[in-house]
């Protein structure tokens, strides 16, 4: 979400967390804040709102899995994640090209 240009407030609202948690994460990772942009990102132009929501949710789950793997001292297994995600999420079954 951050890489797509979403602001701290937008990310916090989507994740249903306090804005300060997003700010703390961003500062910890040494990222500058995203400023509200007047132009729409390519992702937002090319996908329907429900598709954007599903993609952001996918990225959230992927990031979460990666962080948990690293905290456990393991290398994230992207292939295993993709298999599990495809088997448990409707959107991946609907859009098989993903």
Alpha carbons 52 and 48: distance in angstroms, whole number = 6
pLDDT digits (tens, 9 = 90+) for 59-96: 888 888 888 888 889 888 888 888 888 777 655 445 44
Q: What is the pTM of this model?
A: 0.47
Alpha carbons 53 and 4: distance in angstroms, whole number = 13
Predicted confidence at residue 37, as pLDDT, reads 58
What average pLDDT is seen over the chain?
Answer: 79
Predicted confidence at residue 66, as pLDDT, reads 84
């Amino acid at each position: 979400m951050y890489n797509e240009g979403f602001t701290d407030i937008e990310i916090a609202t989507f994740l249903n967390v306090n804005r300060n948690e997003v700010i703390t994460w961003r500062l910890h990772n040494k990222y500058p804040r995203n400023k509200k942009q007047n132009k729409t990102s390519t992702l937002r132009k090319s996908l329907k709102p429900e598709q954007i929501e599903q993609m952001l949710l996918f990225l959230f789950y992927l990031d979460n899995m990666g962080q948990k793997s690293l905290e456990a001292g393991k290398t994230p297994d992207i292939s295993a994640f993709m298999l599990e995600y495809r088997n448990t999420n409707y959107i991946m079954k609907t859009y098989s090209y993903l």
